[in-house]
Amino acid sequence: MTTLTMYIEDIKKILPHRYPFLLVDRVIDIEPGMRGTGIKNVSVNEEFFNGHFPTQSVMPGVLMLEAMAQTAVLLGSFGAEPGSIVYLTGIDDAKFKQRVVPGDQLHIKMEKTAVKGPFEKWKGEIYVDDKLCVCAHLSAMRSKAAQ
């Protein structure tokens, strides 16, 4: 298997998200269209830490799920129609196991588990070091770009 990597400039060509909602810094260990690992470096300067929580910073779970969804979109972009848009349609079995705090590096492992027409299902896990922090199943729909 060839090891592929997506760097931030590659990511910005695919995802429409920008600061503060671009939540993937790099994608590594890519098996095109099927699986790979997104990397998110969590900095104390992240805007959400101002209010979540001021005395003990914790990354919001919903943003970790968003990082999973962004990673799945990036991995699913291989072979997809240029300019297509992916919409998150469901989150199942989300479990939050460990806190994520400033200084952590998220390893967002995503694997496509099913495809039916424009619909995709993904299994995701987020690790910090070797500790599982989040796991969930995501559903998405790929759509042609608006004209």
- Selected catalytic residue, list 17, 52, 107, 137: 52
Contact assessment for residue 42 and residue 58, using Cβ atoms and an 8 Å cutoff: no
Contact assessment for residue 16 and residue 84, using Cβ atoms and an 8 Å cutoff: no
Active site residue 52: yes
Q: Is the dihedral of CA 83, 84, 89, 90 positive or negative?
A: negative
| C-beta neighbour count of 96 within 10 angstroms | 14
Q: Is 73 helix (H, G, I), strand (E, B) or coil?
A: helix
Contact assessment for residue 59 and residue 100, using Cβ atoms and an 8 Å cutoff: yes
Q: Is 76 helix (H, G, I), strand (E, B) or coil?
A: helix
Q: Is 27 helix (H, G, I), strand (E, B) or coil?
A: strand
- Which are the catalytic amino acids? 52
